[in-house]
Amino acid sequence: MAPQKYPTRKLGDDNVSAIGLGCMGMSFAYTSFGGYDDKASAEVLTKAADIGMNFWDTSDISGPHTNEKLIGKWFKDTGRRKEIFLATKFGNLRDAQGNPTVRGDKEYVKKACHDSLERLGIDQIDLYYQHRVDDKVPIEETVQAMVELKNEGKIRMLGLSECSATTLRRACKVHQIAAAQMEFSPFALEIESEQTEFLKTARELGVKIVAYSPLGRGFLTGTIQ
C-alpha cells in the first residue's frame, strides 16, 4: 500500500501541512527532558520533511537565535529549503537586563528580519509574524514596515500573533494578514468567545488561524504525570 499523502491546508497560494512542526522546544523553553540535542533535532526535521510535514514554525526569541540557526544549518546540510514553508517571528525579546519586552518600530522590524534571514541562511521568509504586539507603536506602522519587507522580496506573507480582533482589523486595512497565530486548545478557547470575537473577525477578514500549543502546552501528550 502506498503511503498516505500528508493532509494539507491552503495558506495563500501554498499547500501547507495541516499539522505544523513547532520547532521552539528544540532550542528553548522546554527543558524537563534534560536539555537540547541538535543532532536529534536535525533527525526530527528530516523525518518531518520526509513525511510531508512542511509547515515549520520558529522565532528569533527561541534560544534566543539558536533555533533559527539550527534550522538554517539543516537547510544548508540537506539542500531541502524549497520543500519547507517556513514561518518565523519578531518583536518578542529581552532587554539588556534580561527582562521580557516587545518592539514593533520600523527600525527594529527591518533589522530583525535581516538578522533572521542571516541566521537561517535564506533569502526569503515565507510567513513573518509579529510575535507580540507593541502597544507603544501603532499597528499600522509595524505592518507598513512588514509591507516594505515584502516589497523588497524578504518576506512573502504577513502574520500577527496574540493580537486582538480590533488590532487584526486595523492591520488588514494596511495589508492583508495571511495568518494569526493564537493559543488554541481544549484549555484555551478564548478566540471562540463572544467577548473576543477573534475567530469571527478572522473569518470575516479571510485570515487563517494557526494554533499554537494545541496539546495544552504538553498536558495532552501523556508525558505529564
Kindly list the structural domains of the chain, giving each domain's residue range(s) and its CATH number in brackets, ordered by start.
Answer: 8-221 (3.20.20.100)
Residue 140 grid coordinates: 499600522
Q: Give the pLDDT score at 216.
A: 67
CA distance 138 to 9: 31
Q: Give the pLDDT score at 1.
A: 43
Residues 6+ apart with CB under 8 A from 43: none
pLDDT by 10s per residue, the chain, length 225: 445 689 999 999 999 999 999 998 888 766 655 678 899 999 999 999 999 999 999 999 988 899 999 999 999 999 999 999 999 999 999 888 889 999 999 999 999 999 999 999 999 999 999 999 999 999 999 999 999 999 999 999 999 999 999 999 999 999 999 999 999 988 889 999 999 999 999 999 999 999 998 876 767 677 666
User: Could you tell me if 56 and 86 are in contact, meaning their C-beta atoms sit under 8 angstroms apart?
Assistant: yes
Q: Give the pLDDT score at 91.
A: 97
Paired with 157 in beta bridges are: 127
Q: Give the pLDDT score at 4.
A: 62
Residue 214 grid coordinates: 494545541
